[in-house]
Structure 1
Amino acid sequence: MTVTVADGNVAGADPHAQRVPVTRGYRFEVVKLVSQWRIRLLLLACWVVPGLFVAAVSQQSTLPTDTLFGRWMHATAWAGPLVVLGFAGSWALPLLTSVVAGDVFAAEDRLGTWRHLLVAVRSPRRIFAAKALASLTVILLLVTGLVASSAAGGLLTVGNQPLVGLDGHLLTPSDAAGDVVLAWVCALAPTLALAAIGLLGSVVLGRSPMGLLLPALVAVAMQFAQMLPLPVAVRLALPGYAFIAWNGLFASPAQLGELLIAVAVSLGWVVVATTLAYLLFVRRDFTDATNDGIGRRAITIGLLPLVGLLALAFGAVAVTAPSMGSGISQAKVERSVATAFAHLYRIQTEQFHRPAVTEAQLRVTAACDRSDGQVDAEGPGNDWRCVVTWHLPGTAAAGTAIYQLDVAPAGRFEADGDGPKEVNGYFLVRTPTGDAPNPLWQFDGNVELLPTP
């Protein structure tokens, strides 16, 4: 029997036969996905491994201080899910979307089952909807497992304690839990963008392994781009920036400008890439057994709109929020360092059971430069140096502390204490109740790249 798809019908089949509903096709595609051993293995890993990792690291004497919130894994359960999110955004989520969405159409080409599927379902549109929804369901199960497992591991080993935010302010356990969940929800946007690119690659490239690798390759390219000193407008136009912009949720007030733009850009990629995949799929000639989707015209139609979307996003960001530089200036770094130090100084004051002070009473200021003034004080680099000054009530002399800063192109910085030793010279401080981690020894911060008042 010859299979010919025209206007959603299959030639040679009964024209009065009822088409298979999308819900039935969706259930079939979900069962087909979860019956694969690699998908089952991924589901098991996502629901078990993060919890074991967080529980194990939280009990170690050495913490992943080079990872955002890693230095607080001893103190609160809510640092663990954020450490896992940082790793997942770089590696795990791109690989998961590649395995699930990057192979959902290509598998039919490899197995040669399109003819049977079309005869059974009788509609390419319903097939596409069922496969896309099934991929979305499995990806949501994987992501839910990552956050649920990592949170459970932290709660069982560390407990529901307050979390120190990115600018040093203290979040209550309930606020920390809400922000953690919101950060993972925001990370869904770039995850779905990679999944949509995977769908497009699976449709266009057919049985070629490049369709399976496309989301991972795109993610690696975006990571490399984020390491470069790109203009802020270009950085925000990339679909993966929401994997970084969730950091702004943990500042006070929350830095939502970059996050909202990043999420909107990612959702734009979801819509465009999914629409392209749909249009190419429903126009495919299934009567030719040698046609598996590869073709110059298909690649052109699939690639050019994405390049156009990137240019459009860059133009929109550049117009609405003029940001053609690095976004990292001396004034922003000084303000961020001073704010974080003031919050953390209050935490250290409580550790020593000293009289409570407020940020207004401390009047913290910071003076920062690069390479002892030999380089303009702007842009990323590991040669930033800041002198922090504060005042205690009833004391005439001002206190000073020195920090060496490593500022990343995306705005995150790590401040390493360089004296005096009684303030930030040691990892531990001796308190009336025993040794405790010194919050002023090293701390992370974030410089908002968009123009701020």
Structure 2
Amino acid sequence: MTATETAPLAGNSVAPRAHPVSVARCYRFELVKLMSQWRIRLLVLACWIAPALFVAAVSQQSTLPTDTLFGRWMHATGWAGPLVVLGFSGTWALPLLTSVVAGDVFAAEDRLGTWRHLLVAVRSPRRIFAAKGLASLTVILSMLVGLAASGAVGGLLAVGNRPLVGLDGHLLSSSHAAAEVFLAWACVIAPTLALAGIGLIGSVALGRSPMGLLLPVLAALVMQLAQMLPLPVAVRMALPGYAFIAWNGLFTGPQQAGPLLIGIAVSLVWALVATAIAYLLFLRRDFTNLTQDTSGRRAVTAGFLPLAVLAGATVAVVGLATPSMGSGIDQPKVQRSLATAFAHLYRMQTDELNRPAVAEEQLRVSAACDKGGDRTADEGAGNDWRCVVTWHLPGVQAAGTAVYQLDITADGRYVADGDGPKEVNGYFLVHTSHGDAPNPLWQFDGNVELLHTSPKG
């Protein structure tokens, strides 16, 4: 299985040894095979074209996807579009792409019955695995780059290179927004690799079974469900899918980098372990038995039981390192986050209405929040948070107040919906000297830092 010898040449008593084909040649061969499949070519083309068309079309509509992070700013800046695409990609597109590519790269040989021909030609199972893994990684990364580049181009052409409002209300310049957008896309490479590693396990262990192809999608759905449940922060961060949403912390000031770095580290560990498991399973396969294209129950046990153990180990390590076994959402954090965002956005509204400029230190913004009344603890996710924001204007004795209803999800993201007074946050439009403009204080997104509190920014 690992080497063959050619027939002796005339006049020679010793036959020359046939050497395995190099990994580089195998890689080029596998890459050509992948790109020759019509569904792969179609997906690559869609990744490079569809996001630009989607972002350009949505940016010209009167209604925006305000339930999507940064969706409400797609009329204001071209950098909101690629972030909307990123949110969709982390939930649906990237798991599907890894399934189609990594989840099928070995199983295709089982369906076609070409393992014997490939082994005779290459003479090294190890080099076959390396070539197939690298080829699938190349295709997946080309799709991810296409999604990012296409979304950015579509947004910039449709709306323009304008500043972006962050998740705490502060304004990012065009260059700063561009850097953060592409950094956010780079951060999701790690969880994509983790899903690709899981796809390799399914492709090797399950062979012709469609479950091998669906394994990355199923794993992503399970991890998304876990993120929606009221699980401890340590449990959520210990799953590789957390990095798909932790990029939100890049758009706050100061940046909430802790959860993102943990999510990337966990994803890379999962990618390495899953790939190693797939490699060991592939080397132990019996390619001489044409009626059995997988290693059966033993392969499934050897492939997926270590991942369950890995999940428990990462939960234990993250739980000890943070430590955070609660929800990470409590009253002081919510109040500080809301007050910071309101102060930034109040100044933005002041500029829109051509009012006298005021510094945030002069505003002295504070928030008082309550969750579900006196009988409910003021902590955890939910849509029953009610907050009263108070601020002061120079030369005015009476303090201003505004009411907000907050819907906070388990990952710390919230939507603050203004509930009066009408002069501040009662309407979605404000009247400016240039006509009606979106009211930044009417409804806005925010983010609660789950791991620890940070000073007011």
TM-score bin, normalised by smaller chain: over 0.9
Which position in structure 2 is the counterpart of 1:303? 304
Matches within 5 A, 1:91-106: 91-106=92-107
Matches within 5 A, 1:326-365: 326-365=327-366
How many angstroms apart in 1 are the aligned matches of 2:182 and 2:144?
11
- Could you report, residue by residue, the CA deviation over 1:399-432 in whole angstroms, capped at 9, with x for unpaired residues? 1000000000111000000000110111110011
Root-mean-square deviation (CA), in Å? 1.1
Matches within 5 A, 1:42-441: 42-441=43-442
- Could you report, residue by residue, the CA deviation over 1:64-118 in whole angstroms, capped at 9, with x for unpaired residues? 0000000000000000000000011000100000000000000000000000000
Judge conservation of contact 1:10–1:118 (CA < 8 Å) in 2.
no
State the SS of the aligned residue for 1:429: strand
State the SS of the aligned residue for 2:424: helix
Change (3 A) 1:11 1:365: farther
How many angstroms apart in 2 are the aligned matches of 1:166 and 1:239?
23
Moved over 4 A (4+): 10-15
How many angstroms apart in 2 are the aligned matches of 1:15 and 1:307?
47
State the SS of the aligned residue for 1:436: strand
TM-score normalized by the length of structure 1: 0.97
Match of 1:9 among 3, 7, 10: 3
Judge conservation of contact 2:44–2:142 (CA < 8 Å) in 1.
yes
Aligned-pair identity in percent equals 73
Judge conservation of contact 2:3–2:19 (CA < 8 Å) in 1.
no
Cα offset, 1:207, TM superposition: 0.9
Stretches of structure 2 lacking an aligned partner (at least 5 in a row)? 8-14
How many angstroms apart in 2 are the aligned matches of 1:24 and 1:90?
35
Letter in 2 for 1:131: K
- Could you report, residue by residue, the CA deviation over 1:97-140 in whole angstroms, capped at 9, with x for unpaired residues? 00000000000000000000000011001000000000000001
State the SS of the aligned residue for 1:223: helix
How many angstroms apart in 2 are the aligned matches of 1:10 and 1:99?
33
Change (3 A) 1:186 1:349: same
How many angstroms apart in 2 are the aligned matches of 1:290 and 1:450?
52
Stretches of structure 1 lacking an aligned partner (at least 5 in a row)? none
1:21 aligns with 2:56: no
How many angstroms apart in 2 are the aligned matches of 1:214 and 1:73?
34
Change (3 A) 1:354 1:110: same
TM-score normalized by the length of structure 2: 0.96
Cα offset, 1:296, TM superposition: 1.6
How many angstroms apart in 2 are the aligned matches of 1:74 and 1:373?
40
How many angstroms apart in 2 are the aligned matches of 1:160 and 1:120?
52
State the SS of the aligned residue for 2:368: strand
Judge conservation of contact 1:248–1:256 (CA < 8 Å) in 2.
yes
How many angstroms apart in 2 are the aligned matches of 1:85 and 1:15?
54
Letter in 2 for 1:388: V
Which position in structure 1 is the counterpart of 2:12? none
Judge conservation of contact 1:54–1:150 (CA < 8 Å) in 2.
yes
Letter in 2 for 1:100: V
Cα offset, 1:452, TM superposition: 2.5
Cα offset, 1:375, TM superposition: 1.2
Change (3 A) 1:218 1:244: same
Cα offset, 1:15, TM superposition: 6.3
Cα offset, 1:320, TM superposition: 1.1
How many angstroms apart in 1 are the aligned matches of 2:16 and 2:411?
58
How many angstroms apart in 1 are the aligned matches of 2:317 and 2:107?
35
Judge conservation of contact 2:232–2:327 (CA < 8 Å) in 1.
yes
1:448 aligns with 2:449: yes
Cα offset, 1:451, TM superposition: 2.5
Cα offset, 1:374, TM superposition: 3.0
Change (3 A) 1:74 1:278: same
- Could you report, residue by residue, the CA deviation over 1:132-154 in whole angstroms, capped at 9, with x for unpaired residues? 00000000110111011110001
How many angstroms apart in 2 are the aligned matches of 1:32 and 1:300?
30
How many angstroms apart in 1 are the aligned matches of 2:340 and 2:4?
66
How many angstroms apart in 2 are the aligned matches of 1:22 and 1:324?
46
